[in-house]
Structures are given as C-alpha cells and as structure tokens.
Amino acid sequence: MSRTGRRASLGVAGVAATLLASAHARAAPWVQQEGHGIVILQTTPYTAGTRGFDTLGRANGNGSFGRVELASPYWEHGLTSRWTVGLQPRLQAAWLTENGRTSTNVGLADLSAFARYMVYQGRLDVVSVQGMLATPGVDGAGSTPRVAEPNMGVEIRGLYGIGTQLPWAMTGFATAELAFRGRIGNAADEVRVDVGFGLRPRPHWLLMLQGFSNIGLRNNTPGGADYAVSKLQATAIYEFDPTWALQLGYIRDVAGRRVPLGQGAVLALWYRY
C-alpha cells in the first residue's frame, strides 16, 4: 500500500493511534497496521519550584528544579493486525538549585517495553489491553537530583477509544485509559488514569488535549516514594506529509500530593513508516 493510500485508510482511528503514542510511553487504544509503525523523538523541558508547599502541592519559591528529556525516542510497531509492540528509553538531564547552589545529573530514567492487544474493534470504537515492563534507570556522575527510577515496574492497562466525523469535514476522537502499576521494591504501587480528546480541524493540523493522573496507593515501605500528580497537556501537530510531523505544546501539573507542581514545553518530531 502506498503512503498516500495508507494515510487515507487510517482515518480517525489512525490519527488517534499516532497522536496518543507520545510522552512517557502513554498508550493509545488503537494498534498500528501490520508492518508499520511510528518513531517519535521528544524533548520536554520542565521546571518547578522546590521546598515549602501548600496543601495543593504548590511551591512557595524556595529553590527550583529543572529537567529536560534528551530527545527520548518512542517506538511502536504493528506485529499483526491486533498486536503492537514498542520501546521507550527515557534519557534525562536534571538540575536542582537550593540556597544558591546548583547540582546536576544526567542518566537513563528508565526503559519501558510494552505489548498492546486489540480485543474489540467496532465501526468507530476500539477496546485494547496492554502490558508493560519498566526497568530501573541508571544515574550519571551526580547523585542529586536523582534521575534514575530505582524500582522495576509492571503495568497492566485497559484502553478505550472512539472516533467520529464532525461537521465541516472535521474529525475527532476521545480516549480513556485505566492502569495499575506495581512497583518491585519500596515505592508505592500506582493507579494511572489518562484521558484524551483530539480534533483535526484541517487536513494537516491535529489538536489534542490530554489529562494524566498518577495516584500513589500509600503502600510504600520506609524510604520508598509515594506521591500523586495530575497533569494537563495541550499540543498541536502539523503533518508535513504522511511520513513526517512536528508537535508543539504545553504541559502543566494542576494538582499533587508530596510533589512540587511545575510546567513545561513539548517538542517532538514524528516519523511514520
């Protein structure tokens, strides 16, 4: 099938499948076509205040924390008409400023591998399940701020998506996902709730609003992390052609427990094959 024909055949479902497969190994209910896939190179600069937070997790300005994803690649590939597999290493640089002193660290935050299976496909909607394994990371020369995730994680996720035609030749979609991530170690297990809404107002433009929530279950042992955070992300994607696209956006922490709330930018280059 030609690239032009493949793009036409994907329609609403194909738009959603590639849209939602971006930051932090966030899944999409749709699967890739057999033998085809996507590679996304994403950079996400992020800043937050540290030390001294109110009851909503908002920092009072004593110090600052910064982090940037170092063009972390995301890859997923269609094995069959129902199975999609993928990988995402998260490479990060981080810096922490407190009392006039700045410390830095660079390393591999973690490496995630996943497999997604499409359980049901209707005319407009789809139901999938996904399993993921995340390895611990590796810190660089510095130890503070910590970059590497110290615990292995195992996740099971249920995904639902629906696409629809809209007036004025537009298309749109919505997704909802629920996941449980078990931590092997002293960190708390997590429940993750993700939702997404997408709109294609023009042939080459895609607009997306997403919400991500990580909820620690407070079952950590001494020394283990336990936190909760909810994020909103708004992005715009411009497709140069059926192969290449550019994504720009903004992400903000809107609520949290035992974490500072920050904000960041999203910059990503997509390659479809």
Can you spell out the DSSP letters for 36-85?
Answer: -EEEEEEE-EEEEE-S-B-TT--B-SSSEEEEEE-SEEEEEEESSSSEEE
Res 205: pLDDT: 96
* Alpha carbons 86 and 130: distance in angstroms, whole number: 11
Please report which confidence band the pLDDT of residue 9 belongs to, taking 50, 70 and 90 as the band edges.
very low
Instruction: Supply the pTM of this predicted model.
Output: 0.85
In the chain, the number of structural domains is: 1
pLDDT above 90 covers a percentage of the chain that reads 69
Res 69: pLDDT: 87
* Alpha carbons 213 and 159: distance in angstroms, whole number: 15
How many CA within 13 A on the CB side of residue 37?
15
CB 46 within 8 A of CB 263: yes
Q: What is the pLDDT of residues 83-123, one digit of tens each?
A: 999 999 999 999 988 777 888 999 999 999 999 999 999 99
* Alpha carbons 233 and 235: distance in angstroms, whole number: 7
Please report which confidence band the pLDDT of residue 4 belongs to, taking 50, 70 and 90 as the band edges.
very low
- CATH number of the domain bearing residue 138: 2.40.160.40
Q: What is the pLDDT of residues 14-43, one digit of tens each?
A: 545 444 444 344 568 999 999 999 999 999
The domain of 46 spans 3-272
Distance of CA 157 to the CA centre of its chain: 14
Res 102: pLDDT: 87
What six digits make up the tokens of 81? 């008409």
Q: Which of 143 and 77 is assigned the larger pLDDT? A: 77
